Amino acid sequence: MPTPWKTSLTTALFALAFSTSVEAQCPMPDGLDGGPCCTVAPIERTPLLGFDQDSLSICWRDCDVEVVDSCVARWTVPGPYVDADPLDPNAPVVPTCEPRTIRLDLLDPASATLKWRGKLRVQYSRTWVEANAFGEELQVWRYLLNGNLRPLGFGAAAVPCPVPPCAAAFGNRVRYTGYLDYALNCSTGTYEFAWMLNHACDQFDHAPGFPRAGAFHPDRAYTFVGPGAGFAPGPIQPIEFGGGTLEAIRRANLPPAGSSGPITCEFEERIQHGLDPQIEFCPCGFQQGPNQYVRSELSIAGVCGTVVATTGPFPSGFVSMGLGTWTDPARYPGVEALRWNTGEYVYDDGCTGVSRTEVFFGVTTLGGFDARQLLSTPGGEPLPRTFVDQSNSLRGGLTVRNVAYISDHFLNLNY
């Protein structure tokens, strides 16, 4: 495992090698804005890089922190996407909307013993620009993640924390959802990273009527988060609310179920949207714990005719779970609160005319550095600092819960 000084040296050499090209090419729009409704957007590059990072493992019980442990997250990009850096002219050109895979190893920080391993599906969400505490420009690319992690090297005493009781029932696999941010400093050419993976209580991640349904940990949830430095876990965090016209929704064109083929992006659809909180509550516990969760009504209307709306009472609607706050103003992501989210909505697709009830998973970040849009044309409005990113959960062309999935609808909202 690379030592911190080796990692710092590698970062410094990378900055020296790429500082000239960074100034010329960063920030770089993703090319998904400004096109006609329901048409395919051009292929652009987005980064996918491996890195090591000190991180945290959190067990939640009755909607409150039970145990927090340190770990080292090692992210490895398999071929043909190894070091797919958009600033490297020799890097492979990977279509923005093609799902990619990344391997995550979680190691004990003292012994370097491998504790968890899995491959995650990486689906591009969006990009924007921020100004850090030193006035330097950062370009951020956000991805949504989902997939199975396997606990390794644990004894029986590790259940129910840090190993979820459901693992043994499903081939030692636990489905996680979350996100990964790459933040590129346009002045230095160095990257910073922030990420989260969450396996929620049975209410959400072992929902009845879908694969892996059952009663395993109705009072417990499990989170990995990085960077661990400066992150303060806690269930009570700021919540999402409000409305406006920023940012957009987007669809990907998937091959028909049972077939293979390329996946393409369509241009973003500009929107009006609103998020109206209804109740803060604790749906995961035998005892009434803190109100870690909030349930809200979501409404979206797109300029291409797409309409997204909540269908009824819980579990329908937008639901998010408070996880904690980064507290270091000098490093990405700044002073920023973090929430995992999910949702169930009726999605009336203005491009296909198809209406279906869909389940979404994603992330909310609140705060951080000042941000603005990154468009293909000059300009770009300041972005409110609450970012909500979600994608729908499909398998075989049908809505699914509890297992790994692919997406064709993406929601990018700001409040």
Helices and strands counted in the chain (H then E): 2, 24
Domain positions in the chain are 4-414
The reported pTM is 0.92
Pairwise pLDDT comparison (89 vs 267), residue with the higher score: 267
Q: How far apart are CA 119 and CA 116, in angstroms?
A: 11
pLDDT band at 93 (very low <50, low <70, confident <90, very high): low
- Nearest alpha carbon to residue 137 among 415, 387, 380, 413: 380
For residue range 331-383, what is the model confidence (pLDDT) as tens digits? 999 999 999 999 999 999 999 999 999 999 999 999 999 999 999 998 899 99
| Separation of alpha carbons 196 and 240, rounded Å | 18
The confidence band for 85, taking pLDDT boundaries of 50, 70 and 90, is: confident
CA distances from 149 to 61, 64, 143, 170, 173 (A): 20, 23, 18, 11, 6
